Homo-oligomer: A and B are copies of this chain.
Protein backbone atom coordinates (compact mmCIF):
# COMPACT_ATOMS: atom_id res chain seq x y z
CA UNK A 1 0.00 0.00 0.00
CA UNK A 2 2.95 2.28 0.44
CA UNK A 3 3.99 2.19 -3.20
CA UNK A 4 2.79 5.32 -4.93
CA UNK A 5 0.47 4.94 -7.87
CA UNK A 6 1.94 5.29 -11.30
CA UNK A 7 -0.08 7.12 -13.93
CA UNK A 8 1.00 7.36 -17.54
CA UNK A 9 1.26 10.82 -19.05
CA UNK A 10 -1.62 11.51 -21.45
CA UNK A 11 0.69 11.44 -24.43
CA UNK A 12 1.85 7.97 -23.45
CA UNK A 13 -1.64 6.57 -23.26
CA UNK A 14 -2.33 4.27 -26.18
CA UNK A 15 -5.61 3.62 -27.89
CA UNK A 16 -5.06 -0.06 -27.51
CA UNK A 17 -4.57 0.03 -23.78
CA UNK A 18 -7.77 2.07 -23.52
CA UNK A 19 -9.74 -0.39 -25.61
CA UNK A 20 -8.24 -3.29 -23.75
CA UNK A 21 -9.20 -1.79 -20.43
CA UNK A 22 -12.74 -1.03 -21.54
CA UNK A 23 -13.29 -4.39 -23.19
CA UNK A 24 -13.76 -6.12 -19.85
CA UNK A 25 -17.37 -5.99 -18.64
CA UNK A 26 -16.35 -5.41 -15.06
CA UNK A 27 -14.03 -2.58 -15.93
CA UNK A 28 -16.55 -0.97 -18.25
CA UNK A 29 -18.99 -1.13 -15.36
CA UNK A 30 -16.51 0.61 -13.11
CA UNK A 31 -15.81 3.29 -15.68
CA UNK A 32 -19.51 3.89 -16.18
CA UNK A 33 -20.01 4.31 -12.48
CA UNK A 34 -17.09 6.70 -12.26
CA UNK A 35 -18.46 8.66 -15.21
CA UNK A 36 -21.79 8.91 -13.45
CA UNK A 37 -20.61 10.53 -10.23
CA UNK A 38 -19.05 13.95 -10.65
CA UNK A 39 -16.31 13.50 -8.08
CA UNK A 40 -13.95 10.62 -7.31
CA UNK A 41 -15.06 7.34 -5.82
CA UNK A 42 -13.29 4.76 -3.74
CA UNK A 43 -12.68 1.32 -5.13
CA UNK A 44 -15.36 -0.68 -3.35
CA UNK A 45 -17.83 2.08 -4.22
CA UNK A 46 -17.11 1.99 -7.94
CA UNK A 47 -16.74 -1.77 -8.31
CA UNK A 48 -19.60 -4.27 -8.51
CA UNK A 49 -20.62 -5.17 -4.98
CA UNK A 50 -19.86 -8.87 -5.05
CA UNK A 51 -16.48 -8.65 -6.73
CA UNK A 52 -13.65 -10.11 -4.64
CA UNK A 53 -11.29 -7.42 -3.42
CA UNK A 54 -8.26 -8.90 -5.06
CA UNK A 55 -10.02 -8.84 -8.39
CA UNK A 56 -11.16 -5.29 -7.77
CA UNK A 57 -7.66 -4.25 -7.03
CA UNK A 58 -6.44 -5.84 -10.21
CA UNK A 59 -9.03 -4.12 -12.37
CA UNK A 60 -8.28 -0.73 -10.91
CA UNK A 61 -4.64 -1.30 -11.61
CA UNK A 62 -5.39 -2.09 -15.24
CA UNK A 63 -7.57 1.00 -15.58
CA UNK A 64 -4.91 3.13 -13.95
CA UNK A 65 -2.05 1.83 -16.06
CA UNK A 66 -4.11 2.17 -19.19
CA UNK A 67 -4.50 5.83 -18.32
CA UNK A 68 -8.26 5.75 -17.90
CA UNK A 69 -8.39 6.69 -14.25
CA UNK A 70 -6.36 8.63 -11.76
CA UNK A 71 -6.09 7.19 -8.25
CA UNK A 72 -5.14 8.95 -5.08
CA UNK A 73 -4.75 7.64 -1.56
CA UNK A 74 -7.00 9.37 0.94
CA UNK A 75 -6.31 7.93 4.33
CA UNK A 76 -7.26 4.29 4.25
CA UNK A 77 -9.06 4.50 0.94
CA UNK A 78 -8.23 5.21 -2.67
CA UNK A 79 -10.17 7.81 -4.57
CA UNK A 80 -10.50 7.13 -8.29
CA UNK A 81 -11.55 9.51 -11.01
CA UNK A 82 -11.87 9.24 -14.77
CA UNK A 83 -9.34 11.24 -16.74
CA UNK A 84 -12.09 12.42 -19.11
CA UNK A 85 -10.81 15.80 -20.16
CA UNK A 86 -7.28 14.65 -20.88
CA UNK A 87 -8.48 11.61 -22.80
CA UNK A 88 -10.99 13.60 -24.78
CA UNK A 89 -8.17 15.79 -25.94
CA UNK A 90 -5.99 12.84 -26.88
CA UNK A 91 -8.66 10.60 -28.42
CA UNK A 92 -11.58 12.87 -29.30
CA UNK A 93 -14.94 11.21 -28.97
CA UNK A 94 -13.69 7.78 -28.09
CA UNK A 95 -14.58 7.62 -24.41
CA UNK A 96 -17.60 9.85 -24.85
CA UNK A 97 -19.16 7.75 -27.59
CA UNK A 98 -18.48 4.54 -25.73
CA UNK A 99 -20.06 5.86 -22.56
CA UNK A 100 -23.05 7.09 -24.48
CA UNK A 101 -23.42 3.77 -26.26
CA UNK A 102 -23.12 1.88 -23.00
CA UNK A 103 -25.97 3.88 -21.51
CA UNK A 104 -28.25 3.04 -24.37
CA UNK A 105 -27.31 -0.59 -24.14
CA UNK A 106 -27.62 -1.14 -20.43
CA UNK A 107 -31.41 -0.97 -20.16
CA UNK A 108 -32.08 -4.55 -21.04
Residues of A in contact with B (beta carbons under 8 Å apart): 14-16, 19-20, 22-23, 25, 28, 90-94, 96-98, 100-102, 105
Contacts and interface: CB of A to CB of B under 8 A. Distances in A.
A91 B93 CA distance: 12
Contact of A15 (B20, B91, B93, B98): B98
Contact of A98 (B14, B20, B94, B105): B94
8 contacts: A19-B22, A19-B98, A20-B23, A91-B101, A93-B96, A94-B98, A96-B97, A97-B97
A104 to B, nearest CB: 8
Contacts of A105: 14-15
B97 A101 contact: no
A79 to B, nearest CB: 26
